[in-house]
Amino acid sequence: MIGDNQLHKLTDLFAGMIGHRPTACVVTFGCQMNARDSEKLRGVLDDAGFKLTDNEKADFVIYNTCTVRENANTRVYGRLGQLKNYKKKNPHMILAVCGCMIQEPGAAQIIRKKLPFVDLVFGTFNLYEFPALMKEVLGKKLAGQEEPVIDVWEKESSGEADSLPSKRTYAFKAGVNIMYGCNNFCSYCIVPYVRGRERSRNKQDILNEINRLTQDGVREVMLLGQNVNSYGKTLDEKVSFAELLESIAVECDLNRIRFMTSHPKDLSDELIDVMSRYDSICNHLHLPVQSGSNKILQRMNRHYTREAYFELVEKLRGAIPDISLTTDIMVGFPGESREDIEDTIDLIRQVGFDNAFTFIYSKRTGTPAASMPDQIDPQTASGWFDQVLEAVHETAAARCARFTGTDQAVLVEDRNRHRGGWLTGRTQHNLLVHFEGPADLIGTCVPVEITESKGFYLIGRRV
């Protein structure tokens, strides 16, 4: 794919038409999967000869969308609407929309009808066709044709975007897809519909990709999948996630290995054992619980109980006493009552999460929960949300404070945006640390004494 002459030529012709080297901006909505896909989109654009920028007033703009909650869609439509006037004045501009929102039935037609100035629409299943789609849309622009390119597939195919070039956001850390799609069908979730059935990547391909990354200076990888604990189930040669993780810890030269997301129903003893044995595997686990009520967990089709979750936490803390646990929590699920919310708050306090992403349930058309009776009114859900958030803040602050006075290895990510001469990095527990230091430390791991806890982040001093 790299060095696609035809694509280069078309980019050159486009540059000639607009009178300068074209710029491109990829705007990402949503999760780490989308962030990783965007790196591939940037890789293809960069490879084709576009100059990458963060400015949305670019010659080629791509919105990589999310649809997990309704407000994600609203934001995309709002931003697209804002670009309309800019595009009117700059008709050469190419505007593309891709990602999860596009895989919803009817989304492409809505865009075509209501936002006719969008030039290219494609989904998650044909992301790997992006170079070919670019050629088509550039060809049309050069020929002065207005007709948009719309290519949305209903199902996943055997092709994936693994071999596309990629332009990483960070030089020293990278996301690596280990699997795509999800088979769990949690009753509220649209992901299985817009990302398709679960399919795992071959183990050796993953190891090769990580080894290429480490040769390129990467020190930390995040293994990505909707449910990494069921990795390997679709492969001819069965490999468990624990085996994959151990192979990476043994064979790849990394300081830090992270992974997400883990479904509690599939978290194995074998995995806990591997996590406890390798220093390079971070002492942090993101383990979405969603609710503390057994009634709601059952309606969500989560296949575990609060008691089973407590048992898991006990096992994890038994094997890795210092582990940080983070989670996702949803409030306002159909049929939820005050007692269910109290169960959730009680679970948050009992577990003592290091942090949690909290969401108000959002009805997604086509999912089983959308047609369940007793949908919760937004005001009630919002009141519950505030109470759940308060409990999260309390436990997070208490957990964060345990680091005060300790020395932590911090992987330095960037200059601190608010304080000149300061840097920002992360501990292996995934907490942000701000401290004073020179910019040449970016990308390295340095020891930092934690002097103050700010509830969700830390202040430190280099030792």
Q: Which residues bind ligand SF4 (CB under 6 A)?
A: 182, 184-186, 189, 191-192, 226-227, 263
Residue 449 binds to ligand 5AD (criterion: CB under 6 A): no
Is position 259 an interface residue for ligand 5AD (rule: CB under 6 A)? no
- DSSP lists the bridge partners of residue 462 as 448
DSSP labels for 13-54?
A: HHHHHHTSPPEEEEEE-SSHHHHHHHHHHHHHHHHHTPEE-S
- The nearest distance, CB 416 to ligand 5AD, in angstroms, is 28
- CB 278 → ligand SF4: shortest distance, Å? 25
Please report, as a single letter, which amino acid is at residue 298.
Q
For residue 432, give the 3-state DSSP assignment: strand
Task: Find, among 69, 88, 82, the residue nearest to 27 by Cα.
Answer: 82
Spatial contact of 192 and 239, defined as CB atoms under 8 Å apart:
no
Residue 230 interaction partner, one of ligand SF4, ligand 5AD, none, beta carbon < 5-8 Å per kind: none
| Binding-site member from 45, 108, 111, 189 for ligand 5AD (CB under 6 A) | 189
Q: Which of residues 323-342 bind ligand 5AD (CB under 6 A)?
A: 328, 330
Q: Is 290 in the site for ligand 5AD (CB under 6 A)?
A: yes
Residue 20 burial (10 A CB sphere; 0-12, 13-18, 19+): exposed
- Give the nearest distance from C-beta 261 to ligand SF4 in angstroms: 6
Say whether residue 286 binds ligand 5AD (CB under 6 A).
no
Count the site residues for ligand 5AD by CB under 6 A: 12
Residue 182 binding partner per list ligand SF4, ligand 5AD, none, with a CB distance cut-off of 5 to 8 Å that depends on partner kind: ligand SF4
Long-range Cβ pairs for the range 368-373 (8 Å, 24+): 368/185, 368/187, 368/301, 369/187, 369/188, 369/299, 369/300, 369/333, 369/334, 372/187, 372/299, 372/334, 372/335, 373/334, 373/335
| Contact pattern from residue 208 through residue 247 relative to ligand 5AD, giving x for each residue in contact according to CB under 6 A and a dash for the rest | ----------------------------------------
- Per the listing, tokens 């209501």 go with 114
Binds ligand 5AD by CB under 6 A, chosen from 124, 283, 362, 428: 362
Determine contact, residues 287/312, Cβ cutoff 8 Å. yes
Per CB under 6 A, contacts with ligand 5AD among 62-91 are: 68-69
Among ligand SF4, ligand 5AD, none, the one that 330 touches (CB under a kind-dependent 5 to 8 A) is ligand 5AD
Position with the least CB separation from ligand 5AD: 328
Which of ligand SF4, ligand 5AD, none is residue 226 near (CB under 5 to 8 Å by kind)?
ligand SF4
- Concatenate the DSSP letters of all residues of 193-246 into one string: HHH-S-EEPPHHHHHHHHHHHHHTT--EEEEE-TTGGGTTTTSSS---HHHHHH
Which residue(s) pair with 41 in the sheet? none
Q: Is 366 helix (H, G, I), strand (E, B) or coil?
A: coil
Among 125, 241, 309, 361, which residue interacts with ligand 5AD (rule: CB under 6 A)? Answer: 361
Residue ranges binding ligand 5AD (CB under 6 A)? 68-69, 188-189, 288, 290, 328, 330, 359, 361-362, 364
